[in-house]
Amino acid sequence: MFQGASAINLDAKGRMSIPAKHRDALSIQCEGRLTLTRHPDGCVMLFPRPVWEQHRQQISAWPMQARAWQRIFLGYATDVEMDTAGRILISPELRAAVGLDKEVMMMGMGSHFEIWDAAKMAEKEQQAMDAGTPDVLANFSF
């Protein structure tokens, strides 16, 4: 289970360092083999390759009516590997598609991560808080 937020800066080539707290787990779980793809909410999703392969099979089986969504998820999917310094390269196409610039946030989401432009993520979070608690969480409590 991946959780937690990490503020990261992309370098000039579009590389980001995987935080040390996740690097070892990813090395053990998938030997640093990862897959990146676009999320329609405006972020990049980062999956350990075995987790992505399960999703890819499901997405590939969707009917023709979902072809546009297949293009979003499969069309942008890129296999990457962590280098010896624990960095990955986010392709220019994927960075442009979701508006990643220099300052990003990497969020652990259980089985995968989301990588957000830091300013866009802050804006989305504020919008969610301004909208109030959704009905689906009415009975949730810590």
Number of domains in the chain: 1
By the 8 A CB rule, do 120 and 103 touch? no
How sure is the predictor about 136, in pLDDT bands with cuts at 50, 70 and 90?
A: very high
What domain range is 93 assigned to? 2-131
User: Does the residue 52 lie in any domain?
Assistant: yes
User: Does the residue 87 lie in any domain?
Assistant: yes
How sure is the predictor about 142, in pLDDT bands with cuts at 50, 70 and 90?
A: confident
User: Does the residue 119 lie in any domain?
Assistant: yes
User: Which tokens go with 88?
Assistant: 């990955």
User: What's residue 140's pLDDT?
Assistant: 87
Compute the average pLDDT of residues 68-86.
Answer: 96
